[in-house]
Amino acid sequence: MSAIDIEQNNQVLTAADGTPLRTALARATRRAKWRAFGLVLPLLLFVIVTFAVPIGQMLVNSFHNTAFSDNMPTLSAYLSENDISGVPDEAAFEALVTDLRLARENKTIGKVATRMNYEFSGSRSQFTGAARKAKKLEPPYKEALIKLDKDWEDPLLWNIMKRAANPVGASFYLAALDMEYDETGSIVRVPEKSRVYVPLFIRTLLLSGLIAGICLILAFPVAHLLATLPLRYSNLLMIFVLLPFWTSLLVRTTSWITLLQSQGVFNDLLVASGVINDDGRFQLMYNQAGTIIAMTHILLPFMVLPMYSVMKTIPPTYVRAARSLGASSWTAFWKVYFPQTIPGIGAGILLVFILAVGYYITPALVGGSSGQLISNEIARHMLSSLNWSLAAALGSVLLFIIILLYWLYDRLIGIDNMKLG
């Protein structure tokens, strides 16, 4: 661009090498675009490999499960080719016995039994038991198997097997939303007492909302004070906000356990000062109260910082002008100051809410059973019950909620405006 030589006499302006200026400019812009993109490209590829692909993998796992179709090939082929309803005839049972023998030989029967047990409880022992005896079974297989376990003539089990024969299916999403297929194959909600995940999602959203609300109430005065004090005081007080922000999550959780457990500092203090007696110690840990208190403390800086940066930009003269025009201090605050803080409040609430919805560590350590959130259930299915597809489906639902909130945040505040410290 630096060497553009404009020929005044010509109709078409050209660059030094004779190309028309318009083309040269377009080329230079294109090159600049590519140069900027080239700087971002390595990181983009890195994040795609270590972040986007894994999450895609999780999404795939939530509706794609080959445990049955891979290890029971004959029966899966039979079930997908023939349109059966209810309990099928001898041919299907023959395929079943062939596959049971195969799975027993390949030692994959455990996978099949576990997969079926997700949807048909008690079928684990039914499958492993049948596989163990499959070698000795004689035709007709239908009668032989039913003699082993009468569940083999349950049409519900055959419906489930028919669906599992197809590796792609929504059954884990249904489970994640407390729904199931009934005998006729239509989708119904599970009985009220076994609904687990929808109430847990609701609890997660309610607790996150509550925590965001408490954070707002606590952050507002602090942010206001920090924004109105002279810089030398506010920089000092800022440490109170930033130190928790920089302190390890586990350290802060440990502190709260130490403080609030029934033999902890807080209860000891109350007993020593005679407010409560020794039997009346408050149970503040290992329940919902623990989750709320600890998470409020942990997320409070995320509320204070965006509110502070917005309040910092509000000129103090506005409130003074309102007062001199005769407004009471409340009116001046409510009608003039408060509306200007709303962008900060919005940013803070959304950020805290987004972070709270996905919290795992703190509820797991201080939440007991009533303070668990949806993340804890995902972790349980990943690490102990090993129902990975269900964990992936629950994770996908959670991810959907987060993306929705993230989109909202971007629309209202803009991610480029996120600030740290």
Partner 1 sequence: MAKLPAYTTTGERIWHYTYLLICVLIFLFLIAPILVIIPLSFNAENYFSFTKEMLSFDPEGYSLRHYDRILTHGMANPDIPRDSVWWKDAWANAQWIHAAKNSVIIGVLATILATLLGTVAALGLSRPEMPFRRLIMGLLISPMIVPLIITATGLFFFYSKTGLAHTFPGIIMAHATLGIPFVIITVTATLVGFDHSLTRAALNLGASPVTVFREITLPLILPGVISGALFAFVTSFDEVVVVLFVAAYDQQTIPRQMWNGIREQISPTILAVATILVIFSIILLTTVELLRRRSERLRGISPA
List the interface residues with partner 1, window 237-266 (CB under 8 A).
237, 239-244, 246-259, 261, 263-265
How far, in Å, CA of 263 to CA of 44, rounded?
Answer: 50
How far, in Å, CA of 338 to CA of 55, rounded?
Answer: 40
At closest approach, how far in Å is the CB of 169 from partner 1? 18
β-partners of residue 188 are: 180
β-partners of residue 45 are: none
Task: Output DSSP code: residue 416.
Answer: G
How far, in Å, CA of 208 to CA of 201, rounded?
Answer: 11
Residue burial 294-333, b: 16+ Cβ < 10 Å; e: rest: bbbbbbbbbbbbbbbbbbeebeeeebeebeeeebeeeebe
> Is residue 306 a contact partner of residue 219, using CB atoms and an 8 Å limit?
no
* Binds partner 1 by CB under 8 A, chosen from 2, 194, 317, 369: 2
- Residue 409 exposed, middle or buried by CB count within 10 Å (0-12, 13-18, 19+): buried
* Binds partner 1 by CB under 8 A, chosen from 24, 103, 354, 413: 354
At closest approach, how far in Å is the CB of 393 from partner 1? 11
Residue 146 or 364 having the CB closest to partner 1: 364
Residue 156 or 399 having the CB closest to partner 1: 399
Does residue 421 touch partner 1 according to CB under 8 A?
yes
Residue 187 or 403 having the CB closest to partner 1: 403
At closest approach, how far in Å is the CB of 374 from partner 1? 9
> Is residue 384 a contact partner of residue 376, using CB atoms and an 8 Å limit?
no
Residue 155 or 244 having the CB closest to partner 1: 244
**Structural tokens at position 98:** 């062939």
> Is residue 377 a contact partner of residue 394, using CB atoms and an 8 Å limit?
yes
How far, in Å, CA of 374 to CA of 198, rounded?
Answer: 9
Residues 118-147 that bind partner 1 (CB under 8 A): none
Determine if residue 326 is left, alpha or beta; phi over 0 gives left, psi from -120 to 50 gives alpha, anything else beta: left
- Choose the stretch contacting partner 1; rule: CB under 8 A; options: 116-124, 165-173, 215-223, 274-282: 215-223
Of 370, 72, 326, whose CA–CA distance to 207 is shortest?
A: 370
β-partners of residue 180 are: 188
Does residue 337 touch partner 1 according to CB under 8 A?
no
Query: H helices of 141-248, where?
Result: 141-148, 155-164, 171-176, 197-228, 231-246
Residue 12 or 239 having the CB closest to partner 1: 239
At closest approach, how far in Å is the CB of 231 from partner 1? 7
Residues 278-317 that bind partner 1 (CB under 8 A): 297, 300-301
- Choose the stretch contacting partner 1; rule: CB under 8 A; options: 66-74, 119-127, 195-203, 408-416: 408-416
Residue 337 or 388 having the CB closest to partner 1: 388
Residues 84-123 that bind partner 1 (CB under 8 A): none
How far, in Å, CA of 78 to CA of 95, rounded?
Answer: 7
Residues 178-207 that bind partner 1 (CB under 8 A): none
At closest approach, how far in Å is the CB of 93 from partner 1? 35
* Binds partner 1 by CB under 8 A, chosen from 72, 97, 144, 222: 222
Residues 157-176 that bind partner 1 (CB under 8 A): none
Of 48, 57, 59, whose CA–CA distance to 399 is shortest?
A: 59
At closest approach, how far in Å is the CB of 417 from partner 1? 10
Residues 37-76 that bind partner 1 (CB under 8 A): 37-40, 42-44, 46-48, 50-58, 61
At closest approach, how far in Å is the CB of 127 from partner 1? 24
- Choose the stretch contacting partner 1; rule: CB under 8 A; options: 10-18, 144-152, 184-192, 399-407: 399-407
Q: What is the CA radius of gyration of the chain?
A: 32
Does residue 383 touch partner 1 according to CB under 8 A?
yes
Residue 96 or 398 having the CB closest to partner 1: 398
